[in-house]
Amino acid sequence: MCHLISNLKSIFSNFTQGFGSFAKVVVTAFLLGSLSVSSFATTTVGESSDFNAMSNATWKANVVLALKSDGASSQATQTLSINVTELPDGGADYRVYKTTANGGDFFATPVALALGVNSISVASVDFDRAVKFQVSSADIRFDALTVNGVQLY
């Protein structure tokens, strides 16, 4: 990021040569107004403290949407949204893990992640349960992660 800022300073300096100080202020305001900090702030699944590493050979990490111990709130619709900015070579998949009414485990069919916003919704139930979002790569890069309406990243 420091290299990017250095390059931007150099470009700005070259671009504004010969302009008066007022014009430099206007150009600076325009350039800064069109930049967003979030457009630079990305992380990977492996770097993020919001993901839990897994020892499974296929499924590398997960995000908890609900735990059985959460009680009634675990019964509600569970949602996750992740804005993927970069995928590893060969792509990456996600699947939903959830516990069932009889205490068993259910693993949904894997789905390929796509660049951009990926949203999942797990329907409400009438029993306490665990729900997790599992991914097949720690190298998935993202710039936004929201779980049950709460922005984590």
pLDDT in tens, 65-79: 999 999 999 999 999
Q: Are 131 and 122 spatial neighbours (Cβ–Cβ below 8 Å)?
A: yes
Number of folded domains in the chain?
A: 2
Tell me the C-alpha distance between 83 and 8, whole Å: 26
Which DSSP letter does residue 103 get? S
Would you call 140 helix, strand, or coil by DSSP?
coil
Answer yes or no: pTM beyond 0.85.
no
Q: Are residues 50 and 101 in the same domain?
A: yes
- Unique residue bearing structure tokens 């936004």: 144
Residue 26 has pLDDT above 60, yes or no: no
Neighbours of 153 (CB within 10 A): 18
Q: Is the pLDDT of residue 19 over 80?
A: no
153 vs 147: CA distance, rounded Å: 10
pLDDT band, very low/low/confident/very high, at 18 (cuts 50, 70, 90): low
Is there a single domain that holds both residue 15 and residue 80?
A: no
Q: Kindly state the average pLDDT of the residues 43-55.
A: 97
**Interval 86-94 mean pLDDT:** 98
Q: How far apart are CA 136 and CA 134, in angstroms?
A: 7
131: domain CATH number is 2.60.120
Question: In terms of residue numbers, what domain contains 113?
Answer: 43-151
Q: Which of 25-29, 68-72, 123-127 has the lowest mean pLDDT?
A: 25-29
Amino acid in the structure at residue 127: F
Asked if 76 and 139 sit in the same domain, the reply is yes
Mean pLDDT over all residues of the chain?
Answer: 85
Residues 117 and 61 in one domain: yes
